[in-house]
Amino acid sequence: MRLPFRSKRFSILLGLIFIFALGFSTGAFTALKGWLPEVPWNKEEVQQSPYVAFLLETYDLIKTEYWQMTLDDQLANLFQKATEKVLGGTYELETKDRAGLEKMLTQVLSEKTDEEKNDLVPQIADVVMVNLQPLGRSRLLGKKQTEEIYNMVENKDPESNQLAALGVDETADDSTVASAYEDKSAEVESSGATPEEKAAEMVKLDRAFQSLDTKSERERYIETGVETTIQPKKIGADVYYLQLQSFSATTYEDLVQTFQNTPPTAQQTSLILDLRNNPGGFIDGLPYVLGAFYGEDTLSHQMLKQGNKKDFKTKTPKIPQLAQFKKILIFVNEATGSSAEAMTASLKKYNVGLVVGVPTRGWGTVERVMPLKSTFDDQKFSLLLVETLTLRDDGIPIEGSGIIPDIDMRSKTWKTDLLGYFNQPSLVTAVDQLWK
């Protein structure tokens, strides 16, 4: 992915850093297309210098919306150092505040051509963003990167075609999709590919099948391109299994549809909620998903911003089928991150289920995409800014700490420990098979 800067070398470097920062984790995102805070705005300033206005708007958004309270002298100094790093010179701030920064930027940039400023100004902004704590989580985004994040949070992939992956068209029904999946799976199994290649192909087929195997999911995918985030699986006569793969704006809807399309049997009184490898996603959906477990108007999770804690309450009624589960196990691993960690912390706080696995990733930041009003050279940019931190059940930030499981799968006694909580050998067997 690439921002439309004129410096090819910078575009490649930024792309690599962006992939490193975001490519291995969905993270948590909020308010992607909604309300944005009002920030100081000077039309005359924009007309005179869109480049300075661009950097000052970045300054203002960090000042008001960044999770950590930042003093003017600290922020002005950060912009000064970023300018020196990008331009390679030494520059002085007359005063260490917004006014001093404006004077410095106006003077420095007046010595550059528009072509140079088109290339250098985005670099300055991005260096500032990268150096906000936690390092590398906040970034400057181009139009394409912004759209890619929107698609990721909505669980869309414009580059894929799940109908083509199974070889079916839009008129296919449940049985046609199921038959196509079985045929494709048999083709993969009988091919001369390596075990690793076969596994990779099956991941693609499973993903396609999950988004097309029921009428409601097919219709939504055909109409919107949104894929499901929930995968049920039959693993035992008395254990119901749900894998929550990521968080999107439709995860609560996915959960409701899953229980309607694949309801648990009367014998399935235990639930394994698998959050392993769930990187997080749209945290604004968490009060809806947790409402399925608690009901409406219950504290779902807490977040921290500029020294203040904010409580969020559930917004949906409890899903009736969840009441039949007498034993709930939340399965996590080192790749469980962000919104999935916040969900685990909440379920742990209310003793809804037993957390089993290994300590989670400790990715406790919530990023918001904030489109910038300032433009130049027909380019549109957004800030990806860490807006808040999520908190554990004990009030400690998840960032850098993670969630500690009740049963650690690294322990040699984990099976005995699990039986001590839930005297159900079939549940232990299911966990053992899933872990392997």
- Return the axis-axis angle of helices 425-435 and 414-421, rounded to nearest 10°: 140
The pLDDT confidence band at residue 77, using thresholds 50, 70 and 90, is very high
pLDDT at 127 over 90: yes
Residue 226, classified by CB atoms within 10 Å of its CB into exposed (0-12), middle (13-18) or buried (19+), is: buried
Indicate the SS3 state at residue 153: helix
DSSP secondary structure string for all residues of 373-389: S--BTTB-EEEEEEEEE
Q: Do residues 106 and 52 touch, judged by C-beta distance below 8 A?
A: yes
Q: Which of 23-32, 131-140, 223-232 has the lowest mean pLDDT?
A: 23-32
Name 68's Cβ contacts closer than 8 Å, sequence gap at least 6: 132, 133, 306
φ/ψ of 116, rounded to 5, equals -65, -40
In terms of DSSP bridges, do strands 365-371 and 27-30 run parallel, antiparallel, or are they unpaired?
parallel
Q: What average pLDDT does the structure give for the chain?
A: 89
Q: Do residues 119 and 5 touch, judged by C-beta distance below 8 A?
A: yes
Q: Please report the pLDDT score of residue 47 as a whole number.
A: 47
User: pLDDT, tens digit, for every residue of 88-122?
Assistant: 999 999 999 999 999 999 999 999 999 999 999 99
More confident residue, 73 or 4: 73
The pLDDT confidence band at residue 31, using thresholds 50, 70 and 90, is low
pLDDT at 48 over 80: no
Q: Please report the pLDDT score of residue 276 as a whole number.
A: 97
φ/ψ of 241, rounded to 5, equals -120, 135
Q: What are the tokens at 237?
A: 């006569």
Please, what's the b/e burial string for 16-44 (b: 16 or more CB within 10 A of its CB; e: otherwise)?
Answer: eebeebbeebbbbbbbbeeeeeebeeeee
Average pLDDT over residues 207-220: 89
Laid out side by side, the sheet with 327-332 consists of 230-234, 239-244, 270-274, 327-332, 354-357, 407-408
Among 183, 363, 354, which Cα is nearest to 281's? 363
Domains present along the chain, CATH in parentheses: 8-153 (no CATH), 156-227 (1.10.287.110)
CB atoms < 10 A from the CB of 201, how many? 18
Share of the chain above pLDDT 90, in %: 78
The pLDDT confidence band at residue 6, using thresholds 50, 70 and 90, is very low
Distance CA 251, CA 228 (A): 7
User: pLDDT, tens digit, for every residue of 318-341?
Assistant: 999 999 999 999 999 999 999 999
pLDDT at 245 over 70: yes
Distance CA 413, CA 381 (A): 53
DSSP for residue 50: H
